[in-house]
Chains A and B, each alone.
Chain A
Amino acid sequence: MLGRTPSQTVGPFFAIALCREKQSEIVPGGSLRIGGQVFDGAGEPVPDAVVELWQADQGGTRWGRCGTNETGRFEFRTEKPTSVGGEAPAVEVNVFARGLLRHLVTRIYFPDEVAANEADPVLSSLEPPDRETLIAAEEDGGLRFDIYLQGEKQTVFFAL
C-alpha cells in the first residue's frame, strides 16, 4: 500500500479557486433552502470556511459548495433527498476552513422526519443533546443548520 497524501488546511484564500462561480444551487431552483452559520469555540462566526453538501440522488451524487460570508453564513438550494437503505434522509457535509488542518464531516437530518430519525442507526446511537446538533431547524420556510466547531454546543462530527 502507498502512503496517503496528508491533508493540509484550505487556508484563508480558497475563494479565488473554490468560490469563483456560484455552486450553492445543488438542484437549480430547488424548493428547499438550507442555510446556517459556522461558529468557532468562542461563539464567533467563522468568515473563512467553505461548506460542501453531498446528497445521493437517482442519477448519482449531487453536490454544491458555499464559502461563508463575514457573518459565517452559508446558504444552499436543493431538494430533499430520499431515504437510502433504511436510514433517515440526510445530506452529507464537509467543512473546510482556515485553522482546520483536515476537513470535518457531518450530516444534516430533517426535522419533519420524526419517525425515520427515531429509527436511524446513526441518530439513535447518540445521546439527545448530540442528536439535536445533526437535525436542522425549520426557519422562514427553509431549514437552518448551524455548525459549531467547538465548545458546549459542538456539532457531532464523523470519522471517515
Chain B
Amino acid sequence: MIVEIGHYALALALGVSIIQALVPFWGIVRQDRALASVGSSAALIAFALVALSFAALVTSYVRSDFSVGNVVANSHSAQPLIYRFTSVWGNHEGSMLLWVLILTLFGALVALSRNSVPPRLRAGALAAQGLVAVAFLAFTLFTSNPFERLSPAPAEGQDLNPILQDLGLAIHPPLLYIGYVGFSITYAFAVAALIDGRIDAMWARAVRPWTLLAWTFLTLGIAMGSYWAYYELGWGGWWFWDPVENASFMPWIAGTALIHSTVVMEKRDALKVWTILLAILTFSLSLLGTFIVRSGVLTSVHSFATDPARGVFILLILVFFVGGSLALFAWRAPLLRQGGLFAPVSRESALVVNNIFLATACATVFIGTLYPLVLELLTGAKISVGAPFYNATFIPVMVPLLLILPLGQSLAWKRGDLLGAAQRNAAAFGLAVLAALALIAFTRGGPVLAPLGIALGVFLVLAAGFDLAERIIARASGWHAMFSRAKGLPRSAWGTALAHAGIGLSIIGIAAQAWSTEAISVLKPGERLTSGRYTIVLEGVTPRTGPNFRAEVARFQLFSGDREMAPLEGSKRIYTARNMPTTEAGIRTDGLSQAYVSLGEAQDGGVAVRLYDKPLILLIWIGSLVMAAGGVLSLTDRRFRLAAPKRAAPAAAAPQPAE
C-alpha cells in the first residue's frame, strides 16, 4: 500500500509540476497576478508530494519490502539499517527520485523566499523550474520507476553493490545533488529574466545566495566523493579525471565563474549578458553531467547500467533545456541594457579575467570528456583521455589565473592601481618564493614542479591572510579597535579570504603528492615493508564475520621512522549475497599525512600488501572544507540576511563536514 501511495504521489507531483510550469507563465503573459502566484503553491505541493513518494521508497527499503523490484535488486535484509537506508539512492531509479526530491525542494525554497525577489521574476523562475521538474518527473516515472512491484516476491534481496556499502554513500550523493540541482535555480532565474527582458543588480542579489548555496554543496560533494574513492577503491588515488568525476567538476568550474560574475553584476551592474549566459551554461553542464552518468554513453571506472531508452530520454531533456534556453538567450539578450563602465585595471576587469580563464579551463575539461565520444561516433576509434591530457591542458590554464588571483583581490572597483596591488602582495609572494627555494634545496633531485605548486598554494593562503590582516590592522590603534574592525568586516570578505585560502591549501596537498611513495610485497607474519617514512610489520591475518560479509583482516604494526604508532588493519571482504570481494584499505592519519595499506591476494602463505606514504594528503580535502566554509560565510552576509526572510535563509542547512 505504501508503495502504491508513493507511486501515486509521484504521478500527482508530475501533474502539479505541469501546473507550476504553465499557469504562472500564462499569468505573466496575461499580466494576471493571481495566476502568476499559483507557481508558489504548486511548487510547495510538488515538493510535499515528492517528499511523500521518497518517504514511501525509504520505508520499503528500511522494512526490506522485497515485493518491490528496486528493493530486491539493491538491498538485503542483513544490511545494517544505515545501508538499507542509503541503498535508496545507491541505484539508478532511487537516485533519480533523490534528484527530483532536491529539485522540488529548491522550488519550494524559492516559493517561500517571498520578500527577496520581485514577484514577476519569482513567477517566471518558478515556471521555468517547474518545467525542469516536469521533465525529470516524467523521466523517473516513465523510464526509471522505483515503485514497480515484483510478483511473486523473492524471499531475499540481491544486496547493494558492496563498494557502495559505506558511509560515503550516505553523504556524497545528497551533497553532490544539492549542488548539481541547486544550479537549476540560477538557470530558472536566468530564463525568467530573459522572458522579462529586464535585468539589474536586484537580479544578481536574488540569484547570488542560490549560486553560493549550490556551489558550497557541490564543493563538499566533490570533495567527499574524492575522499571516498581514495579510501574505498584501494588505489591510493584521489582523482582520476574520470568522465563521471568531470561531470560534476564542470558545473563546479562554471559555478565558480558564476559566483564571481554575479558579484560584478550586483556591485557594478555590469557583465549582465555574460552572467545570464553563464547561469544557463552552468545548469546545462549539470544536465550534461546527469546525461553522462545516467545514460552510460561514456566508459568510466564507475560502471553504469546502460539502457538506450533512458539515454535517449535524457538526451532529449538536455537538448530541450540547453537548446531552448540558448535560443531564448539569442532572441532576448539584445534587449538587456548595457551595464556600468570600468577601467581596464579594476576589480571588475580582474573578475572578467577570472571568468575568461575559468570558462577556458572548463572548456578543456569539456573537450577531454566529450572528445572520445565524438571520435567514436565519427570514426569508430576508441580512445581514453586521462590525467596526462588534463595535466597538459587544464593545469596550464589554471596556474596563471591563480597567480593573478591575489592581485585582482587587491584592486579597487571601477579603477584600480596595479602597482599598489602588486606591492600589497609582495610580502606573500616573497615568502612563497622563499618556501619554493627552501623546498628545492631540501629535496634536491626530487620532483621539480611540485615545489612550485606548493609555493603557489602558500602564496594564495598568505595573500588571503595578509589581505584580511591589512584590513583589520590598517589605521586601527590597539587590540580593541582591531577586534571591532574584524567584527565589522562583512562576512563576505571573510568568505572570500577563506575560499581563496582553501584553494591554496588544496593546491599544497595536491602538489605534495609528488612525494608520495608506494611499495609492494608479499608479507608473511613478522615480515616488514617500508615506503617513505612508514614501515609496517604484519602481525597476522585473522578471519572475522560482519553482518553480511566475511573478512580476512590483516593486522599491522606501524612505525613512522622509529616511532611506533597505533596499529593498522586492512581487510579483504567477501559479501556473501553477491559473492563479491572488496578491499578495505587501512589508513592511519599522521598529522596531515597518511599511511595507507591495501591488501592483495593471499599467496604462498603470505598476503600481498601495498603500502603508501601520502604526505600532506589531508590538505586536499581540508582545503575543500575551507572553501565550503567560505561559501557558508558569504551566504550569511548581512545583505542576504536583510534581503530574505529567516525561514528561507538557505544558510540554515549548514553542511556537515565531509568526513
Same complex: no
Seen from chain A, the residues whose Cβ lies within 8 Å of a Cβ on chain B are none
Seen from chain B, the residues whose Cβ lies within 8 Å of a Cβ on chain A are none
